[in-house]
Every structure is written in C-alpha cells, then in structure tokens.
Amino acid sequence: MKDVYVSGFTDRVSPEAPVPIVRVAKTEYKAGGAANVAVNIATLGLPVTLLSIVGNDDSASEIQQLLSCHKVDCFFIKSPNFETIQKHRIISQHQQILRLDYESHDPKLNFQPEDYSKLLENFEKLILSKTFSAVIFSDYKKGVLECCNSLIMNAKKHNIPVFVDPKGDEFDIYQGANFLKPNIKEFENIVGVSTNKKEFNSKANRLKKSLKIKNLLITKGSCGMTLFHEEEMPVDIPAENSREVFDVTGAGDTVLATVVAAYVSKFSILDSVKIANSSAGIVVGKFGTANVGLSELKTVFKNSQKILSIRQKPDEPKESI
C-alpha cells in the first residue's frame, strides 16, 4: 500500500461547511502494509525480498522506488484489473483528522486466477534461487494471500520457518506456520472473549494446537503481549510504557519484523519477542508509518552486544520474503 501523509496547520473553520481548513505544509509518501514490514527488516540491517501483487499504476511504481531507497528487492506482479491501495492521512498539528482510503470495497474481486498462478510460480522460483532464513506473510486481507496455504506448504517443504501476521475470521489458511501473531481483537474474533486468564490461556492453547502452530504471540496493546511457545508455559510480557504513545500506526509490523530479525540472528523465540516488545515501545513514540533502527535498539539494550550482530555481511544469504 502507499501511505500518504498530508500535513499542515488549522486555525479556522471552512465557511462552506463545519469542517477545519488545513493549510498544507508538506506531503510525504511511505511504503505501507506488507511493504512496511520489509522496510522495518531492512532498517535493522537484513537483506529482504518483497513479493506481492500490485496494480499496473503509478502508485505501484512509487512504492517500488520507496523500497529501493531502503535496498529492498521487489518482485511485483502487476494485475491489470487491480488498483494499488492508497491511504491518505490528513494531519493537522500532529493529529490525524481524516483518512481517505483509495480501494475497492472488496479488492480480491479484482484479482484474476493468473495473478495467483504467477504469485505461486514466482514464490517457488525465489525459494529455489536463493537461500532464505525465514518467510513472512503479512496479511491485510486485500486478496493477495488467498492461496496462503499453498505458500506455507511450499516454504515448509524447503524447511524455511514461516512467520504470519494474520487478519480476518479464517485462520485455517495459516495452518502449519511456525509463528502466528494476532492482536487481541483478531484473536477474540476467532475464539471469543475470555472472562479470565485461565480461559484465555486455554483458548490460546486450543487454537495453537488446532492450527499446528509452534509459537503463538498475542499482542494486547498497553497490556503487553503473551507468548505461547513450543510446549512451554505461556509468558506474559508487559508493555514498555516508558515512552508516550503517540501513534500506533504500523506497530504490529514493527513487532513482527523485529521478531524475525532477532530470530534469524540466532536469538531464541522468547528473547526475540522481548526485543520486539521494546521495539514496539519505541515505534509508538513516533508519528505515522515508522520503523526502528539498530542505533535505537542499541540505546535500549546498552548491555547487549548481540543485538548489533543483526547486520549481516553483504555476501550472506537473503533473510526473508
């Protein structure tokens, strides 16, 4: 997706309607959606390849240019019937007052069978042509991951760990993934609301078992995160509240990207989640679609030198899709 931020100042109300007038000072373009996950990983120093379906339009070209600035390799399948999704945010005095979404009511209706065939074909080619340490599926329920089951099976066939950020009311398509990261609303949408901690843990374990997921991370905003990993007892990780929450846009993307970056850098899943939790505490203190750099993590983990090993040598393999 293309994220557009139109920022300015408001000091009067329109005489035409009871709405504020924004005097535009600047317009910024950022790579959003799954592209934001890729940028987050690249910012942490790992080589990353992004595969997706986009429209055959200027927005797709602009996203690719933004990604190239972050040294993200792009493999875009351009569908002639699909319009690349845009989200325009109108900002006044650092507050979002309006968001304009440019997309059809059900974007997946614009995809053709050949789009999915090309997606599967290119995924297989990438897997065979390079050595990947992880695969990420960032699902925004826009239709691209309708064939998610096939993609996961393909990755697992090559023994590549699969990390998923899910969405929607159908989690069966993520079956067999190594790591699933729903937020609390997405989790409750699948299993229902829990009245106590025991019920919450029970529902999480049942979901984890039914989907054959090795690790389930449920993010809960200001209430932190809970990790259900392997056969261990669940671990509650409190939110990092040392920073003021300024904007939660893309925080989930940062969490997933940091978990993967730490994991492929040889941290355990638990330690990777703890690092990601700190990253989330940093990114919510920023405005808009943002990311966390190594220098910021270095400040948080002053006593840890291992976090600095995330940056890979140029001749080392690509890390994630």
Q: What pLDDT digit, counting tens, does each position of 40-85 carry?
A: 999 888 999 999 999 999 999 999 999 999 999 999 999 998 999 9
Pairing outcome for strands 179-180 and 225-229: unpaired
Write down the pLDDT at residue 116: 95
Strands (E), 186-246: 215-219, 225-229, 235-237
Task: List, in order, residues 6 or more apart from 236 with CB less than 8 Å away.
Answer: 224, 225, 226
Residues 89-120 have pLDDT tens digits of: 999 988 899 999 999 888 888 899 999 999 99
**Residue 238 near residue 184 (C-beta atoms within 8 A):** no
What confidence category does residue 299 fall into, taking pLDDT thresholds of 50, 70 and 90? Answer: low
Mean pLDDT of the 241-260 span: 69
pLDDT of res. 193: 95
pLDDT of 241 reads 54
pLDDT at 196 over 60: yes
Give the chain's radius of gyration (CA, Å): 20
d(CA 121, CA 233): 40
Three-state DSSP at 133 gives: coil
Give the residue, 97 or 311, on which the prediction is more confident: 97
Q: How does strand 225-229 pair with strand 215-219?
A: antiparallel
pLDDT at residue 313 in the model: 40
Q: How high is the mean pLDDT of the chain? A: 87
Indicate which residue of 139, 165, 247, 253 is catalytic. Answer: 253
**Cβ neighbours for 269, distance < 8 A, ≥ 6 positions apart:** 179, 215, 227, 229, 230, 259, 263
Classify residue 238 by burial, with Cβ atoms within 10 Å: 0-12, 13-18, 19+. Answer: exposed
**Is residue 57 annotated as a catalytic residue, yes or no?**
no
Per-residue pLDDT at 321:
62
pLDDT of the residue at 249: 54
Q: pLDDT of 171-185, one tens digit each?
A: 999 999 999 999 999
CB 29 within 8 Å of CB 106: no
Confidence of residue 221 (pLDDT cuts 50, 70, 90): confident
Percentage of the chain with pLDDT > 90?
A: 68
Least confident of 190-194, 213-217, 219-223: 219-223
Q: Which of 68-72, 78-82, 143-147, 238-242 has the lowest mean pLDDT?
A: 238-242
For 250, left (φ over 0), alpha (ψ -120 to 50), or beta?
A: left
- Residue 312: pLDDT over 50: no
Determine whether 150 is exposed, middle or buried from the number of CB atoms within 10 Å of its CB (0-12, 13-18, 19+).
Answer: middle
Q: Over 90: is that where the pLDDT of 18 sits?
A: yes
Choice among 155-159, 184-188, 241-245, 266-270 with the minimum mean pLDDT: 241-245
Strands (DSSP E) found in 200-287: 215-219, 225-229, 235-237
Question: pTM of the prediction?
Answer: 0.88
Nearest-angstrom CA–CA distance, 215 and 288: 29
Q: How far apart are CA 283 and CA 239, in angstroms?
A: 12
Q: What is the mean pLDDT of residues 122-144?
A: 93
Q: Which pLDDT band holds residue 286 (cuts at 50, 70, 90)?
A: low
pLDDT reported for residue 285: 61
Which has more pLDDT, 260 or 306?
A: 260
* Mean per-residue pLDDT, 251-272: 90
Kindly state the DSSP code that residue 284 receives in the 8-state scheme.
T
